[in-house]
Amino acid sequence: MDAELKTAANDLASLVEQSSRALAFTGAGLSTECGIPDFRSPGGLWTRNKPIPFDAFVTSRAARSEAWRRKFAMDESFKAAVPGRGHRALAAMVATGRLRGIVTQNIDNLHQDSGVPGERLIELHGNGTYATCLHCARRYELGWVREAFEAAGGEAPDCSACGGPVKSATISFGQAMPEAEMRRALDWSVEADLFIAIGSSLVVHPAAGLPVAAKRAGARLVILNREDTPLDGLADRVIAADIGTVLQSVVERLGIAGPG
Ligand code: NAD
């Protein structure tokens, strides 16, 4: 590890040690080392497929079928993914009380898989490992959706209870944010004394408003992301480096690194 990275990891470890209500805010960049592409890196999902907005999903079966086709095409890499160094480091920081909790934009379930308890985690954009009916909220496992989709020759299935559209339990562009999660995330943000934004381009709103709210309420803001973000000018420290490498080094310095 080069000297600049060592200094950055040292600085972040010290900030964590000095804080009593540190919060991590994570985005798709945390999971790229696990084989899940992000949206906005060069070659990321954004450059391949523009997301299907919520309105189109609700009003058009063709859009729903296309959404499920993409989802199943991606599903192998999601299913094969296991928590990376970054997830494990953050889980160790939560377990030892160094972090109050994690607010995530990710939908890949890897924070839960790394052992972060539900009450320490807020999912702002839902969870892609299951589906729900948009009308009656009935839960469906992806295996059921896939079977029905394939049996119908690639058509999106409807809810077997009420006939409503069945959608991955994630928040699409144009879909309302989950209110309770958003409120809790804002509370945690304004109560934080250290806000660490990790692997997010910080352009997706309203989630990207959280670091701003935290900073305005007095938190120190650290941004760990290999590309520039629009909030870099507001940050007390920007670490433009690989997430897994930096976070692993931070937990080593804190003396809480687990095996591997
Ligand atoms: P984003 O794709 O907009 O930004 C990711 C950022 O992470 C980029 O700026 C990139 O430079 C950086 N990055 C990637 N790998 C990195 C690494 N190893 N080290 C340091 N930096 C790295 O992601 P976002 O801001 O989270 O917004 C994307 C939206 O898409 C989110 O709302 C999320 O719900 C969804 N999404 C989720 C997943 C997932 O669950 N893993 C994957 C893709 C998209």
Tell me which residue has its CA closest to atom 11 in ligand 1. 227
Nearest to 194 by CA among 62, 110, 99, 55: 99
CA of residue 183 to ligand 1 center, whole Å: 22
Tell me which residue has its CA closest to atom 25 in ligand 1. 200
**Other CB atoms within 10 A of residue 137 CB:** 11
CA of residue 200 to ligand 1 center, whole Å: 5
Can you tell me which atom of ligand 1 is nearest the CA of 202? Answer: 25
pLDDT (0 to 100) of residue 180: 97
pLDDT (0 to 100) of residue 47: 63
pLDDT (0 to 100) of residue 257: 86
CA of residue 40 to ligand 1 center, whole Å: 7
Question: What is the best residue among 25, 38, 46, 210 to mutate for testing ligand 1's pocket, by most ligand atoms within 8 Å of CB?
Answer: 38
Structure tokens at 240: 């433009």
* Fold (CATH) for 1-36+83-125+177-260: Rossmann fold (3.40.50)
Tell me which residue has its CA closest to atom 2 in ligand 1. 39
pLDDT (0 to 100) of residue 71: 94
Q: Do 1-36+83-125+177-260 and 40-80+127-170 agree at the fold level? A: no
Q: Tens digit of pLDDT for each residue in 45-96?
A: 666 678 899 999 999 999 999 999 999 998 888 889 999 999 999 999 999 9
Catalytically active residues, by annotation: 125
Helix (H) or strand (E) holding 197: strand 194-198
Domain ranges of the chain: 1-36+83-125+177-260, 40-80+127-170
SS3 annotation, 6-74: HHHHHHHHHHHHHCCCEEEEECHHHHHHHCCCCCCCCCCHHHHCCCCCHHHHHHCHHHHHHHHHHHHHH
Q: Tens digit of pLDDT for each residue in 29-53?
A: 999 999 998 887 766 666 667 889 9
Can you tell me which atom of ligand 1 is nearest the CA of 199? Answer: 7
CA distance 248 to 242: 10
pLDDT (0 to 100) of residue 211: 98
Is 163:190 a contact under the CB 8 Å cutoff?
Answer: no
Ligand 1 binding pocket, CB closer than 6 Å: 27-29, 31-33, 36, 38-41, 44-45, 105-108, 125, 199-201, 204, 225-227, 242-243
Can you tell me which atom of ligand 1 is nearest the CA of 229? Answer: 9
pLDDT (0 to 100) of residue 259: 60
CA of residue 87 to ligand 1 center, whole Å: 14
Q: Which residues does the chain have with pLDDT short of 70? A: 1, 42-48, 259-260
CATH class, range 40-80+127-170: alpha beta
CA of residue 32 to ligand 1 center, whole Å: 8
Can you tell me which atom of ligand 1 is nearest the CA of 34? Answer: 41
